Structure 1
Amino acid sequence: MGQFMQEGPTKLLRPLLLLSYSAMYIPITIYHLITSFDLGPFTNFSTFKDHWFAHFWTFFGPRSREAASATVTPLISNAATGICLDIGPGSGQWLSLFAKASNPSITKIYGVEPNVGLHKELRANAIKAGLGDVYEVLGVGAQDLAKVGLEKGSVDTIITVQVLCSVPKPEEIIKSLYPYLKPGGKWLIFEHVKTHYREDFVAWWQRTVNIVWPTFFNGCDICRPTDEWLLQAGEWEEVSLKFGSDEGKYDTVPHAIGTLTKKR
């Protein structure tokens, strides 16, 4: 079926396949909660969703990383330099790409992760990637960096990989991060974005799918014009953004990929 949806209008069916994968983990989550006598999440849908997504992501996360690896690897390897802000790294699934062998000029990485439940695994993965001496976890939101003493104009590289689609108030966060970049600093992005084919059927289909998509994918909103918000965040010396190499007018969950360089 995956091969069947590689090209043409049949690609419009792909989000339904992904939604079905997530839905499969609803009964699995119910079973695990009941058999572990953990009935609390049944009284709070938000808590239940957290358990549901955790079970689903155990299966889907590695597959998602594998699918994105061909794009994310060249984006980050040999591109991240100096002092870096790694926004929303989660448990650190991409940290191996920051390894000194690929990015020898990195001097410091701040992993901005507000979910403290992920910090232990994030630190462990930083050590596993050989970054234990340069990777520091900041347990705040991206909009609260001033609270931990980070100075504006001090960052060489900002990295956001599939995080701006799910954070609250993304436009405000993007504007708040821009001042932290040094002149000439780079923002590396790989993000879900609103389709650019605004007059085609896919635009309506994307909005329709997005009615349920955030519930099934932990708050991910596929209709955010994140690339446009980035362009409007401040002055850029150079912009190199594109859709995925195999993405077009039949892709319901397209990505913006590339680099923005702050004006010197």
Structure 2
Amino acid sequence: MSKWFPKLYDTLMNPLEERAFRAIRKNLIEKARGHVLEIGSGTGFNFPFYQQAEQVVAIEPEPLMRQQSIQRAAEAHVPIEVLAAGAEKLPFRDDSFDTVVGTLVLCTIPDPLLTLKEIRRVCKPQGQVLFFEHVRLDHAVLGRLQDWLTPVWKRLCDNCHLNRQTLELIRQSGLKVVSVEKHLKDIFLVIEAVNSK
């Protein structure tokens, strides 16, 4: 991860958070219940919205972002533990969590399908999996533009793939998608799934 990106992440994201993301996050995160795992907590933007959770374990591999997550966790309504861990090899036993949450994270992970399989492993049978992600547009021109921009965008924004077809990856992983909401010209999706293993 570049040195500048974690330092400027909140500043860069605040306009989008104010305009739309905060409300989207709030509506999604309030659905998380029981023992919750959050994949890639970043700077902890989601933490204020956990209301129904008993406990949250959040993983974040980037040290500066993790430190900001820890600070936000101290102000949360529910107990949140922030750990240094990657998503492609989760350090938890099978069937450990009632809910798994990921927001704007699957775009950056080198092997998202492996991560999704790990999510299935640690999520209880019939547990809920909640995502807020951006995706490649199903549009002849705009989709190709995303393809064209992605190599440069990945370098600038720490491996963020503009053109990842995340909804299809979630379906391929074996998670059962139960609802999809489209936001901001269909580039952002809220995806609710069930771990039907």
TM-score, reference length from structure 1: 0.68
Q: Is the 8 A contact 2:39 2:100 kept in 1?
A: yes
Q: Which of the numbers 122, 128, 131 marks the counterpart of 1:189?
A: 131
Q: Which amino acid aligns with 1:177?
A: I
Q: Flag the structure with larger Rg.
A: 1
Answer 1 or 2: which has greater helix percent: 1
Q: Does 1:216 align with 2:161?
A: no
- Equivalents in 1 of 2:152, 2:65: separation in Å? 26
Identity %: 26
Q: 1:247 maps to which residue?
A: 185
Task: Return the structure number with greater strand share.
Answer: 2
**In structure 1, C-alpha distance between the alignment counterparts of 2:11 and 2:34, rounded to whole Å:** 34
- Which aligned runs of 4 or more in structure 1 are off by greater than 4 angstroms? none
Deviation at 1:256, TM superposition (A): 2.1
The answer to whether the 8 Å contact 1:171/1:226 transfers is no
Measure, in 2, the Cα distance between the counterparts of 1:69 and 1:108: 21
Taking only aligned residues, the RMSD between alpha carbons, in angstroms, comes to: 2.0
1:16 — aligned with what?
A: none
Name the CA shift for 1:210/1:119 in 2 (closer, same or farther; >3 Å): closer
Q: Aligned partners of 1:123, 1:54: CA distance in 2, in Å?
A: 14
Q: For 1:215, give the aligned amino acid.
A: R
1:14-53 alignment to 2 at 5 Å? 49-51=2-4, 53=5
Distance 1:113 1:195 in 2: 28
Deviates more, 1:120-129 or 1:154-163: 120-129
> Which letter does structure 1 place at the counterpart of 2:188?
H
TM-score by length of 2: 0.89
Partner of 1:137: 82
Count of residue correspondences: 196
Q: What are structure 1's unaligned runs of at least 5 residues?
A: 1-45, 249-253
Gap runs ≥5 in structure 2: none
Report deviation, 1:261: 1.3
Q: Are residues 1:85 and 2:30 paired?
A: no
1: CA distance, partners of 2:149 / 2:174: 31
Query: Secondary structure at the residue paired with 1:86?
Result: strand
**Does the CA-based 8 Å contact 2:102-2:131 persist in structure 1?**
yes
Matches within 5 A, 1:68-217: 68-77=21-30, 79-98=31-50, 102-103=51-52, 106-131=53-78, 134-146=79-91, 150-197=92-139, 200-217=140-157
Query: 1:154/1:243 Cα in 2 relative to 1: closer, same or farther (>3 Å)?
Result: same
